[in-house]
Amino acid sequence: MSCEYCEDAKPGKAGDGRAKTPARVIALLGQPNSGKSTLFNALTGGRQHVGNWPGKTVEKKEGRFQHKGRAYLVADLPGSYSLSAGSEEEIVTRDYIAGGEADVVCILTDASQLERSLYMLADFAPLKVPAILLLNMMDVAKGKGIEIDAKLLEERLGIPVVPFVASNTKDYGAFYDAVERTGQDGAVIKNPPEVPDTLDAPDTPETSDAETSAVLEAAEIKFKWIERLLDGAVKKTKASAAAFSRFDRVATSSVRGKLIAIGIGIVGLIAAMIPFGIVGGIASLLPSLVGPPVAAFLQSTGLGPFWTALVVSGVLNTFVFAIQMAAFVFGITFVFGLLEDVGYMARVSFVFDGVMSKLGLQGKAIMPFFVSLGCTIGGAAGTRVIDTWGQRVLAMALLWAVPCAAILSIVPVLANIFFGWGTLFVMLGIFVVMVLHMMVTAKVFGRVLVSEKDRTGMIMELPPYHKPKWGLLFKTTLLRAKDIFLRAFRVIFVITIIFFCLTWAPDGNVENSVIYKVGSFIEPVTRFFGLGWQLFMAFIAAAFAKEAVLGVLNALYLGSGGVFESTFSKSTETAANFGEVIAGAVSRPEALAFIFAVSFTVPCLVAMTATYTENHSLKWTLRIAGYYMAVALLLSLVIFRVSSLFF
């Protein structure tokens, strides 16, 4: 197995000659909402590696932990409802298990609805691989009056059956014991259902009816096997009635369910802004508090103005950006994790699935889209609730088209300078282009990222509501924010240093900077798109911080401040005569072209970094970024040429 953790060794004295003991591999298997991610995070903490399976648009999550001196590798297999439907996730999972990659497979089920949750076990049983059955959410099952005889199930299956609550890390003893026992005796499921294999049946019109019949027959065999397995092992009392049925009738309705989800999304977005406002606000004070003494110290050492400015403006701002990003991701991750933990996110997915499936996505994607109206960073972080990697990346590609709060604040200012009461039509045009942009982008990237069979909507179980485990939720969210900070700092640091060098001018005159010389050199090309060199530089600066556009334009047209300082301080301050000056220097067609180019270019640097840290693919992040830059310039070209006919 190719993994950086596979050769973990038992602790030993240096030079004692003992051979390294390979890590024992545990694979986690289960349907969505079965608690796999909770168990994975609880076991591995921050010791995780996320990427993609070779040649597949399927996410691969691995982590490690140690227990009683033994090293373990944990593979969180893609969540799906079976192993026999033939989707890319199911094929990857089935091949991994059948290939003998795992020493032990832990199959997680929802104990509160065991009859339907055991379908994965019925699919897995014929593979004859050592396994453990985890009856997760036992607290929810007990709350619903469900009693399960785990010993009887263990006798019938021939493998350890462990009553379990994945969110309660203090009660993992039985789990560890079962893993150790299964790793030694290699117990496999006895008397599995005898089901004909339909995965390799040819997909032709002549055999489609027979194939459908075979699938239905196989499903019936599995459900009868589950029924025999649970006979006498599960008892229900009168208290097992659905506790939240009244709310669910509203939460899953076509209209009211959507309104409730939007309302909860608004509250969640506000809640997520609290840590961002507090931590981000404190972090924003660092350059003014730490900058002067650091600058004085560096100057006293004999460093020139370039290196002093690089450290004070570049490094400190990078640190601030990374902290602010981590704070916002913490808030969004906590809110989305809470909604997922209590079981509500599945309801959101249900009511919006029909709408989002037209874009090749599942219903859960609506929440990240909604959050992106506030900030693209939060939207990218919110895509973690989407089950498949391909749909997650597609969602990120689409939500980049959603105007964030920064765009919605600067565009009206610019539009009002040039169009007055016509600003309303400019804003309406932006939202119309947004919808068209998303439809086209879904066609461009959706064919590669999401297969046709995954575009037909979802068949899903609504998990029961249950109380969140606040301690575990806070711990995993904090680890997530820490990981985001470390990753973001590295990426933002490199790009910030490059941009600083391009905008640096020894005498403070922007005309002596590299970016001005490059911009003025290529101005004949940028003019073709309706952008003079000043507008084009502001267009480039918008890729770092959308809020910086007004400050950069102010610096370029009125000579008030530097480009780098205006960009990374996100300055929106302008001179009193800013509107008069820019209106005299820029034509209406140029202004309209610039507004749409800035609105639909790549999001800010931090949002792009958030996208990369969520999809774990530099290739796809750069591919999407290149696409958005090209579309923004194309929009600028078309709008400039067309509007020139009227203005």
| Per-residue pLDDT reduced to its tens digit, 406-416 | 888 888 888 98
Residue whose structure tokens are 């691969």: 60
The pLDDT, as a whole number, for residue 572 is 53
The Cα–Cα gap between 598 and 427 comes to: 13
Who contacts 373 (Cβ-Cβ below 8 Å, separation ≥6)? 402, 403, 404, 405, 408
Structure tokens at 66: 């140690």
> What CA–CA distances, in Å, run from 3 to 43, 233, 463?
17, 40, 33
Query: For residue range 75-85, what is the model confidence (pLDDT) as tens digits?
Result: 988 877 777 76
The pLDDT, as a whole number, for residue 311 is 84
The pLDDT, as a whole number, for residue 17 is 38
The Cα–Cα gap between 287 and 573 comes to: 18
| Helices assigned H by DSSP within 452-577 | 470-503, 514-521, 523-528, 533-542, 549-558, 563-568
Structure tokens at 154: 């263990």
The Cα–Cα gap between 251 and 253 comes to: 6
Structure tokens at 231: 């006979």
The pLDDT, as a whole number, for residue 56 is 66
**Superfamily covering domain 24-237:** P-loop containing nucleotide triphosphate hydrolases (3.40.50.300)
At 110 the three-state DSSP class reads strand
The Cα–Cα gap between 26 and 107 comes to: 10
The Cα–Cα gap between 506 and 432 comes to: 44
Structure tokens at 187: 């117990």
Domain boundaries, the chain: 24-237, 249-408+456-474, 484-643
Closest CA to 123 of 102, 109, 138, 139: 109
Structure tokens at 603: 């999001």
Closest CA to 28 of 85, 89, 102, 98: 102
- End-to-end CA separation in angstroms for the chain: 64
Residue whose structure tokens are 């509107």: 579
Q: Which residues, listed in sequence order, are joined to residue 135 by a DSSP beta bridge?
A: 109, 163
What DSSP element (H or E) covers 349? helix 345-356
Structure tokens at 620: 């796809």
Q: What are phi and psi of 82, to 5 degrees?
A: -160, -175
Residue whose structure tokens are 């997680």: 108
The pLDDT, as a whole number, for residue 193 is 84
Please compute, for residue 629, the number of CA atoms within 13 A of its CA located in the half-sphere on the CB side: 15
Q: What are phi and psi of 340, to 5 degrees?
A: -70, -40
Give me the residues of the chain with pLDDT under 50, please: 1-19, 199-207, 240-243, 457
How many CB atoms sit inside 10 A of residue 259's CB? 12
Closest CA to 375 of 279, 483, 270: 270
The Cα–Cα gap between 494 and 321 comes to: 13
At 340 the three-state DSSP class reads helix
The Cα–Cα gap between 13 and 518 comes to: 60
Name the residue type at position 442. A
At 136 the three-state DSSP class reads strand
